[in-house]
Chains A and B, each alone.
Chain A
Amino acid sequence: GEDVEQSLFLSVREGDSSVINCTYTDSSSTYLYWYKQEPGAGLQLLTYIFSNMDMKQDQRLTVLLNKKDKHLSLRIADTQTGDSAIYFCAESISSGGSNYKLTFGKGTLLTVNP
């Protein structure tokens, strides 16, 4: 079945880069997503990558996709205290020819220390 795995915790110092890793299982996933959840809030879409891409950059965020190893990473450059949150990786699930249902990992709690 489908499963998305993430490490549960990451702690970095302010100004360093953060790298959050994710592995997924559905080789037919078309899109992979990164969401951010701040305490008491809903999930905010950060970025997504199409499965035929290797990399996508958006300001301080860089997404790397290794399709062969089914490995996705999110790099946050110059991490700030405001980046402290839970980060969820999600993959689209192929269902009846469509890819709109998502499977989420359990989330990585990023703590940024001043």
Chain B
Amino acid sequence: NAGVTQTPKFRILKIGQSMTLQCTQDMNHNYMYWYRQDPGMGLKLIYYSVGAGITDKGEVPNGYNVSRSTTEDFPLRLELAAPSQTSVYFCASSRSTGSYEQYFGPGTRLTVT
């Protein structure tokens, strides 16, 4: 199992550009999550999904969009990138029962200039 994979690993965007961060998991997990991590801060939940076709906002959703057309994939879309979106983005997945422990991808480091 590859677990949770994310692409790209690094990206530099100009202000106003758009991009999609890809996330795929092969553990057949129903639940998936997107977080951002800023220096010295914990992780903030951007969006999450409890199954294909179902998404919901987390703590910091503004400036982002998501979709979940399959169990495996949960892409995060940035429209009109702003410097405040410079961060490291992590995707995670978990089972829908039991202890809900989340498994994380390696992250995407995004810089907006």
Contact = CB atoms under 8 A, between A and B. Distances in A.
B42 interface: yes
B107 A33 contact: no
Most buried by B among A33, A43, A44, A45: A43
Contacts of A102: 45, 100, 102
Contacts of B48: 101
Given A42-B105, A101-B48, A31 B42 contact: no
Nearest to B31: A100
Contacts of B42: 4, 88, 103-107
B25 interface: no
Interface of B: 4, 31, 40-43, 45, 48, 50, 58, 90, 92, 94, 96, 99-107
Q: Is the interface of A mostly helix, strand, loop or mixed?
A: strand
Contact of A31 (B40, B99, B104, B107): B99
B100 A92 contact: yes
Nearest to A92: B100
Interface of A: 4, 8, 31, 33, 35, 41-45, 48, 50, 88, 92, 99-107
Q: What 7 A-B pairs have minimum CB-CB distances, sorted nearest first? A: A104-B42, A42-B104, A100-B100, A43-B104, A104-B43, A106-B42, A42-B106
14 contacts: A4-B42, A8-B40, A33-B101, A33-B102, A41-B106, A42-B90, A42-B105, A45-B103, A50-B99, A100-B31, A100-B94, A100-B100, A103-B42, A104-B43
Nearest to A41: B106
